[in-house]
Structure 1
Amino acid sequence: MSASKFDSQKAPEPVGVYPHARKVGNLLFLSGVGPRKRGSKEIPGVELDKDGNIVSYSIEEQCHAVFNNIKYILEEAGSDWSKLIDVTVFLTNMKADFATYNKIYAEYFTENQPCRTTVEVLSLPTPIAIELKCIATID
């Protein structure tokens, strides 16, 4: 079974050597996607000190940004939000951020409700508080 890769022109560039997504059969597997803005290191809602450490952040702004980045990848690869079937969410502060993230997640998934796993991690590769890994169908 062949696999083809997709790289979005709207989502932030990967921080390593991997594609935004790969299509295998009728499934689209997305690499981990964060809230960064394409073409910069800017992270919505994040304030860093001169050494790059997080001073403050808004999980709300990061949630909206990461969901938009997921939409960009899905649409450019030929899928869409309604075809998501599995979402793994990584949070760096479950205690502080889960309730807000869960509320915003529910706003985006009113009709399509994919399987979901949410885990807390110590850190992510960039100074972000949330990252998503998704699987969707594609025609």
Structure 2
Amino acid sequence: MTAAAALPRPLGAYARWRRTGDLVFIAGVSARLPSGEIDGVLREGDGVRHDVAAQTRRVLQTIDALVQEAGGAGLADCVDMQAFLVRAEDFATFNAAYGAFFPGEAPTRTTVVVRALPHPDMVVEIKAVACVPVASSQ
């Protein structure tokens, strides 16, 4: 199975990523798995708990794979990210999980709190821009 086959397919009419020159634009990525399930969802009786750190890790791993698919080295090529959280109180947990992926120089980032994401079990979404020189992707 290729890395691309191991990634979830878009549920709508949009590309997972799009290249223009040296820039690769990654569409918003959630913690959705190829099976359709959402990573980081813990069902406890009648309740549901969302593991923000697990969702953040899954999102960044998927972005890494998408940048690789687009011809780059991966997450280190990202220059800008926009993060969307459903709950403001998750920011510290999100920030710690996110920071583990960028021990050195991190991309610029904007984080906003939104009312909801497309599925009630999604609590983190990130879109990214990577800089991958065309010559290095060939």
Common topology (TM > 0.5) = yes
Aligned to 1:5: none
Q: Does 1:67 align with 2:63?
A: no
Give the counterpart of 1:58 among 25, 41, 51. Answer: 51
* Letter of the structure 2 residue corresponding to residue 27 of structure 1: L
Q: Is the 8 A contact 1:46 1:54 kept in 2?
A: no
Q: Is the 8 A contact 1:84 1:112 kept in 2?
A: no
* Letter of the structure 2 residue corresponding to residue 115 of structure 1: T
For 1:47 and 1:41, locate their aligned partners in 2 and report how far apart those are by CA, in whole Å: 15
Aligned to 2:10: 14
Across the aligned residues of Structure 1 and Structure 2, the Cα RMSD in angstroms comes to: 1.8
Q: Does 1:111 align with 2:111?
A: no
Please report how far the alpha carbon of residue 9 of structure 1 lies from its aligned counterpart in structure 2 after TM superposition: 2.6
Identity %: 35
Q: Does 1:129 align with 2:123?
A: yes
Q: Is the 8 A contact 1:10 1:72 kept in 2?
A: no
For 1:93 and 1:110, locate their aligned partners in 2 and report how far apart those are by CA, in whole Å: 25
* Letter of the structure 1 residue corresponding to residue 99 of structure 2: A
For 1:54 and 1:61, locate their aligned partners in 2 and report how far apart those are by CA, in whole Å: 18
Offset from partner CA, 1:32-57 (integer Å, 9 cap, x none)? 0011111x2211121469xxx97221
Aligned to 2:82: 88
Name the CA shift for 1:37/1:61 in 2 (closer, same or farther; >3 Å).
Answer: same
Give the counterpart of 2:36 among 35, 41, 57. Answer: 41
TM-score normalized with structure 1 length: 0.84
Name the CA shift for 1:54/1:22 in 2 (closer, same or farther; >3 Å).
Answer: farther
Offset from partner CA, 1:92-114 (integer Å, 9 cap, x none)? 0012x100110111110112311
Structure 2 unaligned blocks of 5 or more: 134-138
Q: Is the 8 A contact 1:33 1:133 kept in 2?
A: yes
